Chain A
Amino acid sequence: MVTDSGAPGGARGLRFLNRPRGLAVEADGAGEPHAIAWQGRFRRVTVIHDRWRIDDEWWREEISRVYFEVELEGGRRLTVFHDLVAGGWFLQPYRPPTTTGEPPGGAARRR
């Protein structure tokens, strides 16, 4: 669930980067975006290049999102997701997790 997106601050001034920004999206019956409000008007989604789902942190505030990498008319590419817990659409550039780190205790769990 995404709340208070874009709100500043955290402990000792920690501000997470790449926070989701709310977005107006028209979706079709299958839950796929077919028009996105971009720069003041709705633009048609011409191609959906990729789609993936993230389910995480079910043990505290569950996160469940479906991401779409779409191309709008005019060629603009965006990454948006649909929050399946709270509803609503969000814009969020996506960077795959790096392989250089892992959560504390991850290695121990594997053993």
Chain B
Amino acid sequence: MDFACIQVPWFAIAVARRENPQLAGRPVVVGGAPEEHAEVTACSPEAMAAGVAPGMSLRRALALCPGAVFLPLAASVLRAEADRLAALLRERSPVVEEAGQGHLHCEIRGLPELLGLGTATYLAQLRESLAGETGLPVLAGAATTVFAAHAACSALGLGIGIAGDRGGPRQSISVVPGREREFLAHLPVKVLPVEPAMHQRLRLFGIERLAQVAALPLSAMQAQFGPAGRRAWELANGRDSSRLQPAQEELRVTEEVELPAPAVSQAALLAGSEAALARAFGREEVAGRAVRIVTWWAGLEDSTRVSRRLAFREPTADPRHALFVLRSKVEALRLPAPALSVGVELAGICSEYAHQQLLWSSGRGRQRELDDAIAQLHARAGEPQVYRIVEVQPWSRIPERQAALVAYGS
């Protein structure tokens, strides 16, 4: 077994029910209060059975399912829960890919053998440990291909004819190597990772099972659905050579500076910001690299934070440039309370951006522009307009001999 799929079906509902067990078995709609002009972002199977679907308006959902419990969308909570589940899985597998919130794929090649366990036992223990630590109804599937593992786990979530050892619903399943095509054959096309429009068209064609897709000529699937049709046909036939693509952890560098005294003045905030930027850009991780995004914040006396986000048009490796851009944001701030600290977080760290240098250095180029402008001014006025002071006889005891004005450019 090479791959496992871990899913928490109806993730948003599962998290809500864990927080409030009284919601179990009741229709639940997530997205906000029904009087709000918003859409359903998630709903429980009970609500779905009443006709509610993600994407419809909350008012329509209320009309279809008056007994539903409407919950606000706690996006940050869901994100945190999904991150926690992924972090727990990363402790158990070297390669983890997040397919969605509460939906993860991971490599398990060699791990059961390492623990001296059979694949089924290993998978069951993996599922139990994740479910135990998160308190969520975790399902697990394993197979020699990513899609077979995903399809097996999705089938568990859909409750499709896979009975457990004790007659109850199974919560983990491993597909026997070499029998993937046979296993997939009776699964619904719903498990195919394709666009909703293609699912709809498959239904219109009367294609409900993967066996039907597998039985079609490849050319027919390609003709109807293009590359997605070819991919669906290959998956339905148990052909899947895809590999996991673990998310790259983004490097972020954070520095915070305590202000010597509670401050509201922009000068103090800017001074602290300058120090924080200098420290952050001076960090070893950032050396020789450029930054696309700076998040700035001020920690206030009332324990709240005011933050601003800067996205540079071109990545910069210069803290002075970052401060220059930040300055206008800070100057426009009206803090509700004195700031105790200021901090910055650098993100979008990338290779240093290449700039086309001028043939002459900027100083000389600017000097030449200045010379040209002054020459033009003199020509227009007919006599010198700009002078420079030169010391003529600084040693002279006669004051008017010491310095003189010389026409610029002469």
Binding site for B on A (CB under 8 A): 10, 12-20, 54, 56-57, 63, 92-95, 97-103, 106
Picked from A12, A16, A98, A102, the residue with its CB within 8 Å of the CB of B400 is A16
Assess the B391–A101 pair: CB atoms within 8 A. Answer: yes
Question: B397 and A97: CB pair below 8 A?
Answer: yes
Which residues does B use to contact A, with CB under 8 Å? 384, 387, 389, 391-407, 410
**SS class of chain A's interface: helix, strand, loop or mixed?**
loop
Q: Which residues of A contact B393 (CB under 8 A)?
A: 101, 103
CA distance A63 to B397 in the complex (A): 11
**A47 → B minimal CB distance (Å):** 22
Instruction: Flag if B395 contacts A103 (CB, 8 Å).
Output: yes
Q: B residues within 8 A CB of A54?
A: 397-398
Alpha-carbon separation in the docked complex, A69 to B403 (Å): 21
Determine whether the beta carbon of A95 is less than 8 Å from that of B399: yes
Residues in A with CB closer than 8 Å to B389 are 17
CA distance A110 to B92 in the complex (A): 91
Chain B residues with CB under 8 Å of A56's CB are 397-398
- In the bound complex, residues from chain A placing their C-beta under 8 Å from that of B395 are 97-99, 101-103, 106
Chain B residues with CB below 8 A from A103, complex form: 393, 395-396
Known: A13-B406, A14-B405. A19 touches B397 (CB 8 A): no
Chain B residues with CB under 8 Å of A15's CB are 387, 404-406
Cβ–Cβ contact A92 & B400, under 8 A: yes
> Bound state CA distance, A17 and B398, in angstroms?
11
Pairwise interchain contact A16-B403, C-beta atoms closer than 8 A: yes
| Cβ-defined partner of B402 (8 Å) among A10, A63, A95 | A95
- The answer to whether B387 and A94 touch across the interface, beta carbons within 8 angstroms, is no
Provide 15 A-B residue pairs closer than 8 Å at the C-beta atoms, listed in order of the A residue: A13-B384, A13-B410, A14-B392, A16-B403, A17-B405, A18-B400, A18-B403, A19-B400, A54-B398, A94-B399, A97-B396, A99-B395, A101-B391, A103-B395, A106-B395
* Cα–Cα, bound, A99→B407 (Å): 26
Minimum CB–CB distance from A7 to chain B (whole Å) comes to: 12
* Cα A18 to Cα B399 with chains together (Å): 7
Partner of A16, one of B397, B404, B410: B404
Partner among B399, B404, B406 whose Cβ is within 8 Å of the Cβ of A92:
B399
